[in-house]
Amino acid sequence: MKSIALPIFSEFKAPAQKPPGWPVLRLGFRPFYIGGALVAGLTVPLWVAMFLGALSWQPVVAPLLWHAHEMLFGFAVAIIVGFLMTAGKAWTGLATPRGRALGALIALWLTARVASLTGPYALYAVLDMALLPVVAAILVRLLIQSRNYRNLPLGLILALLAAANVAFHGAVSGVLSVPVMTPLHAGLALIIMVECVMAGRVIPAFTMAVTPGLKLVTEVGVERTTLGVTALGLALWVFAPTSLMGFFVLALSALLQAKRLLGWKSNVTRTRPILWILHAAYAWIPGGLLLLAMAQLGWVSPSAGIHALAVGATGGLIIGMITRTARGHTGRPLAVSKPEVLAYGLVMSAAVLRVLLPLVAPSLYVTSLLAAAALWSVAFLMYLWVFTPWLMQTRLDGKDG
């Protein structure tokens, strides 16, 4: 008698278990990308309304200080924390905060943003200074535990960012006798260094991945020299903002950064918006460094270089990375939609209006400020419109993360 194989048990597969917990608290990028984009989209028009006198209400510190601080330690730091608390898991193979632990981190960040508007100042300062040391400690512990020493400098930069934030609040409260803008400039400089380090890893890799046959070779010595000169130039800008040495070092760093970008073959990315935005945004780094060099000799206002780095480089790299990484980590294809491409163009246009238009037509400063703020705000609100539902839901493939 011929036997009959019964495939019932061999083909049976248990249904995949649903990942535990709220989707939005499964990886750091989810809540922090939403929060960072919300701060970017809402606080810039609020600041412009204060600056132009259309709004009499004031935050707990002077409006200019509030604007600069919240763009750095509210917006940019949120994205950096979200990115590192996601990338750290991939780098180390160890779990990063999720669930209640991640919820506590985002709640700490959020209450500090609310306190910046409502006060009292002491509460704002305490809440605001608490996040970065915690995140730095988490990242460093993971890196040491996994022996991933290559990324330890990022933990050091986070610690320095925390120190800059403490110095800011010390200066505002009168505890430290330092110019209050110095810690803010230091914060921007450190964020730019984070961007230089990470861009040097991901932009060439992303470019080669989508360009068959392209080989981008980076020399370790040249890379280290570029980063070292850039760090020195930014340090001189922060601590010796009108020095001849600062002019030469910043100008040299601009040249080295421009050479670095040229080596990444940006021309091959023209038809890939998710990639060209990273190249276009990075171009603002050598541009911003050059403008800072010129400001050392009084040729242009320091504001031009600051906003080239803050709006063009930081804003552009962030909008590019939070679309790409959010797509990848929610199981979606790395092909952006029209609203995302529009958001890229809006951020780059905002940078041009905020940085270049006042240089060539100073009489149009208010117009440029209003237009740049509007474009910037719309770009990040569009991001929220597209991505918030995705970030609140389980990955398309059902996987955890």
Confidence class for position 331, pLDDT limits 50, 70, 90? very high
Q: What is the pLDDT of residue 289?
A: 98
Tokens linked to 223: 């890379």
Give tens-digit pLDDT for 20-39: 778 999 999 999 999 999 99
Phi and psi at residue 316, to the nearest 5°: -70, -45
- Number of C-beta neighbours around residue 373 at 10 A: 20
Query: How far is C-alpha 5 from the geometric centre of its chain's CA atoms?
Result: 58
- Number of C-beta neighbours around residue 144 at 10 A: 13
What predicted TM-score, i.e. pTM, was given to this entire model? 0.93
Does residue 4 carry a pLDDT above 90? no
Q: What is the mean pLDDT of the chain?
A: 92
The residue-averaged pLDDT of 136-141 equals 95
Give tens-digit pLDDT for 258-302: 999 999 998 888 889 999 999 999 999 999 999 999 999 999 999
Does residue 319 carry a pLDDT above 80? yes
Q: What is the pLDDT of residue 5?
A: 45
Q: Contact at 8 Å (CB) between 340 and 273?
A: yes
The residue-averaged pLDDT of 58-86 equals 96
Phi and psi at residue 176, to the nearest 5°: -110, 135
Give tens-digit pLDDT for 202-255: 999 989 988 888 888 888 899 999 999 999 999 999 998 888 999 999 999 999
Residues 6+ apart with CB under 8 A from 318: 36, 40, 75, 76, 79
Q: What is the pLDDT of residue 8?
A: 39
Phi and psi at residue 391, to the nearest 5°: -70, -20
Q: Contact at 8 Å (CB) between 291 and 308?
A: yes
Q: Contact at 8 Å (CB) between 251 and 290?
A: yes
Nearest to 84 by CA among 184, 164, 151: 151
Does residue 16 carry a pLDDT above 70? no
Does residue 6 carry a pLDDT above 50? no
How far is CA 74 from each of CA 35, 42, 68, rounded to the nearest angstrom? 9, 12, 9
Q: Which residue has the tokens 């512990």?
A: 141
Domain boundaries, the chain: 22-178, 187-391
* Degrees to nearest 5, angle at CA 64 with 61 and 67: 85
Confidence class for position 17, pLDDT limits 50, 70, 90? low
